[in-house]
């Protein structure tokens, strides 16, 4: 199915509907097709041990969606409308939730400029939609370390750009970089900062954490060039609760390389809604390659992953109020 809500200047958001999923007719002059005024979110719904269904931190996705809208000069969708639309799609598509251990229903809310207009200015008409899609485990056969390619050619976002917004244009710009990573035999691209080309920003679709030998977790700060990941935020809170020190500070590729060699950085992992928490095994860049830890899954990565997944799945207590029961 799909949920749709329309917007027009002067009228606001109107005509919320739940209907069978179908193609959306579009005029060739629809603003989004030319200027990419579009934003989206991604989150998951899971089956709980008692057979109920829950979403993980949908209010955080609503807040980020509002921030993305602001950056892309789009009208704010009321939080209640956002949450309600997710409830509606889960209710009607619940039979699509896979019953497998790591299965979930991936939810994709998005909005785009639907006004038929060729001038460059914020559109006056928008369409908001939600679709859902069953998702299995990100990696079949258990959690496997990923290999990373540090792109020498591309950056993800510059200061003042759209790096902190979840807009389609960011991902279009990243496709060549991801293709480069695949060409070098790696799973994911890792971006360096756009100014000094020195500091680790994030991966194509995940934030990154380093685990030091004293158990401290380090992650790049939210300077506006990386996506403020909801998993990133959850990891920080879980790690602090478990007694780890957490530092948000820049980490250069050089620091990562030398600290991995000296054993000061013992583990590194990537995190995001799709991959949850994924260990990083090998890092390749032009002319160099190094392994993080023993190239496998470290104990802190395993510990934090288990805590997160157990809360998400309703198998552990939820002291942060992250799990929103829908059914």
CB atoms under 10 Å from CB of 8, counted, come to 16
58 in contact with ligand PMP (CB under 6 A): no
CA pair distance 228, 226, nearest whole angstrom: 6
- Per the annotation, the verdict on 166 as an active-site residue is yes
Query: Is residue 231 close enough to count as binding ligand PMP by CB under 6 A?
Result: yes
- The residue from 75, 220, 229, 298 that contacts ligand PMP (CB under 6 A) is 229
Q: Which of 86, 192, 206, 218 binds ligand PMP (CB under 6 A)?
A: 206
One of 8, 18, 42, 316 touching ligand PMP (CB under 6 A)? 42
Distances (CA, A) of 268 to 22, 69, 93, 186, 248: 42, 32, 36, 16, 14
Query: Nearest-CA neighbor of 88 among 67, 109, 69?
Result: 109
Please name the helix (run of DSSP H) or strand (run of DSSP E) that holds residue 276, with its range, or none. strand 276-285
**Least distance in angstroms from the C-beta of 138 to ligand PMP:** 12
| Number of residues lying near ligand PMP (CB under 6 A) | 12
Residue 205 in contact with ligand PMP, rule: CB under 6 A: yes
Q: Which of 227, 283, 300, 311 binds ligand PMP (CB under 6 A)?
A: 227
Nearest distance, CB of residue 57 and ligand PMP, angstroms: 9
Beta carbons within 8 Å of 31's beta carbon, 6+ residues apart: 37, 113, 114, 115, 116, 117, 123
Residue 13 or 138: which CB sits closer to ligand PMP?
A: 138
Instruction: Tell me: does residue 202 bind ligand PMP (CB under 6 A).
Output: yes
Q: Residue 170 CB, nearest distance to ligand PMP (Å)? A: 7
Interatomic CA distance for residues 274 and 139, integer angstroms: 10
Q: Contact with ligand PMP (CB under 6 A): which of 207, 219, 225, 301?
A: 207
298 touching ligand PMP, by CB under 6 A: no
Q: Which stretch binds ligand PMP (CB under 6 A): 24-32, 69-77, 82-90, 203-211?
A: 203-211
Largest Cα–Cα separation, the chain = 61
**CB within 8 Å of 68: residues ≥ 6 apart:** 39, 40, 41, 74, 165, 166, 167
Of residues 210, 179, 206, the one with CA closest to residue 290: 210
11, 166, 198, 237: the catalytic one is 166
Nearest alpha carbon to residue 170 among 182, 158, 187:
158
- Give 129 or 157: the residue with its C-beta nearer to ligand PMP: 157
Catalytic residues: 166
Q: Which residues contribute to the site for ligand PMP (CB under 6 A)? A: 42, 202, 205-207, 227, 229-232, 272-273
């Amino acid at each position: 199915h799909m949920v749709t809500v329309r917007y027009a200047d002067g009228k606001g958001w109107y005509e919320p509907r739940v209907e069978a999923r179908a193609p959306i007719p579009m005029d060739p002059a629809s603003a989004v097709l030319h200027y990419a005024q579009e934003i989206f979110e991604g989150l998951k719904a899971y089956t709980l041990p008692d057979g109920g269904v829950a979403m993980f931190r949908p209010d955080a996705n609503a807040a980020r969606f509002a921030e993305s809208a602001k950056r892309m000069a789009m009208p704010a969708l009321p939080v209640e409308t956002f949450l309600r639309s997710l409830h509606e799609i889960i209710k009607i598509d619940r039979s699509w939730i896979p019953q497998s251990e790591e299965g979930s229903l991936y939810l994709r809310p998005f909005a785009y400029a639907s006004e038929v207009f060729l001038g460059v200015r914020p559109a006056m008409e928008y369409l908001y939609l939600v679709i859902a899609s069953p998702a299995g485990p990100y990696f079949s056969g258990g959690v496997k370390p990923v290999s990373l390619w540090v792109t020498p050619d591309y950056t993800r976002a510059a200061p003042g750009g759209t790096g902190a917004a979840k807009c389609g244009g960011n991902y279009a710009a990243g496709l060549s970089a991801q293709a480069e990573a695949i060409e070098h035999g790696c799973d994911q691209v890792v971006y360096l900062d756009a100014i000094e080309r020195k500091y680790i920003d994030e991966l194509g679709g995940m934030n990154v954490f380093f685990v030091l030998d004293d158990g401290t977790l380090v992650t790049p700060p939210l300077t506006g060039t990386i996506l403020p990941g909801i998993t990133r935020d959850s990891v920080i809170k879980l790690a602090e609760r478990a007694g780890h020190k957490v530092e948000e500070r820049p980490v250069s590729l050089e620091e990562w390389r030398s600290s991995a060699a000296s054993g000061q950085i013992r583990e590194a992992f990537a995190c995001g809604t799709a991959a949850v928490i994924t260990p990083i095994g090998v890092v390749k860049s032009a002319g160099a390659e190094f392994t993080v830890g023993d190239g496998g899954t470290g104990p802190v990565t395993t510990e934090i992953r288990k805590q997160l997944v157990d809360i998400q799945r309703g198998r552990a207590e939820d002291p942060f109020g992250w799990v929103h029961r829908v059914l």
